[in-house]
Amino acid sequence: MKKYLAIMKIRFINSLQYRIAALAGIITQIAWSVLGVLALSAFYKSNPLTYPMGFSQSTAYIWIQQAFLPMFMLWFFEEDIFDSIKKGNIAYELVRPVNLYNRWFCQSIASRLAKGVLRCIPVLIIGFLVPAPYGLMLPPSFIQFLLFLISMTIGLFVIIAFCMLVYISTFYLLSPTGMKTILVFFADFLAGSTIPLPFFPDKILSVIKILPFASMQNMPLRIYSGNIAGIEALNGILLQIFWFFMLTLVGKLWMQKATKTVIIQGG
């Protein structure tokens, strides 16, 4: 266990080097939050009756989503991992007494956390300063807040377990570009990053909400805003845990198979 913490630590330190990138990220996320809130308010004003979420619920959704964007983005990959497969540096990772799947998993957690921790605070502060109903409200209760934290953590695991499948596919495809493009347009949309899932038509929603993508940002963001609460939230978290185990199982088995037939690129 200690070795995996050490991997997380060095990845974390490595990320902290990039201060300008963090600053740029903060500005982008604040601007994006404002745009998102304005767009939603336009929908709301045109017809509040058919609006599927409370207005302040949906603004909270946007603010929290942007504050923790690096934890929720599906297409935020570890370029190091793609590089090591593509250029053959993976040879070094295979001569370590460390499970490669766990290693990459920890590395991904650390890099997302490093980015998230740096960026979330200014965005949250601005969010709380903006007046209601446009700003960020507190969660409805403390229990709801705890559920949010649990759900966000598992959501992060689900996202990374999913990303691992993309990394492993690179053993066969060599270039991750295609997979990334599909993910940006398709999976991220189904995860609720463009518009919150309740805005989807009911019939489509009933399918989408059981897919693994709905176990990523959709669950924690809606729990924070109070759109999902109580027993429904607990069920949602159970579904997240289910997807985390399934994706990890598939990933581990696939990884085992891939590393057996691996060839090292570039001599």
Partner 1 sequence: MIELSHVCKNYRVAKRSSGFKEAVKAVFSRQYTTVHALTDISFSIPDGEIVGYIGPNGAGKSTTIKIMSGVLTPDSGLCNINGYIPWKNRKEYTKKIGVVFGQRSQLWWDVPVIDSFELLKEMYEIDPAVYRNSLDELVELLNLEDLLKTPTRVLSLGQRMKCEIAASLLHHPDILFLDEPTIGLDTVSKLAIRQFIKKINRERKTTVILTTHDMQDIEALAERILLMGKGTLIFDGSLETMGSAVNHTKHINIKYDGDLLAVPEGVTIIKSTAEQIIVKIDTTQTTVPDILSTFSNQVEIKDISITSPSVEELVAMMYRDFAL
Residue 6 or 138: the one with the smaller Cβ distance to partner 1 is 6
| Residue 19 binds to partner 1 (criterion: CB under 8 A) | no
How near is the Cβ of 250 to partner 1 at its closest, in Å?
21
| Residue 14 binds to partner 1 (criterion: CB under 8 A) | yes
User: How many residues lie near partner 1 (CB under 8 A)?
Assistant: 27
Q: Which two tokens stand for residue 30?
A: 């604040």
How near is the Cβ of 119 to partner 1 at its closest, in Å?
19
How near is the Cβ of 68 to partner 1 at its closest, in Å?
24
| Residue 231 binds to partner 1 (criterion: CB under 8 A) | no
How near is the Cβ of 14 to partner 1 at its closest, in Å?
5
CA 101, 106, 108: angle at the middle one, nearest 5? 95
Question: For the window 76-115, what string marks contact with partner 1 as x by the rule CB under 8 A?
Answer: ------------xx-xx-xxxxxx----------------
List residues binding partner 1 (CB under 8 A).
2-3, 5-7, 9-10, 13-14, 17, 88-89, 91-92, 94-99, 260-264, 266-267
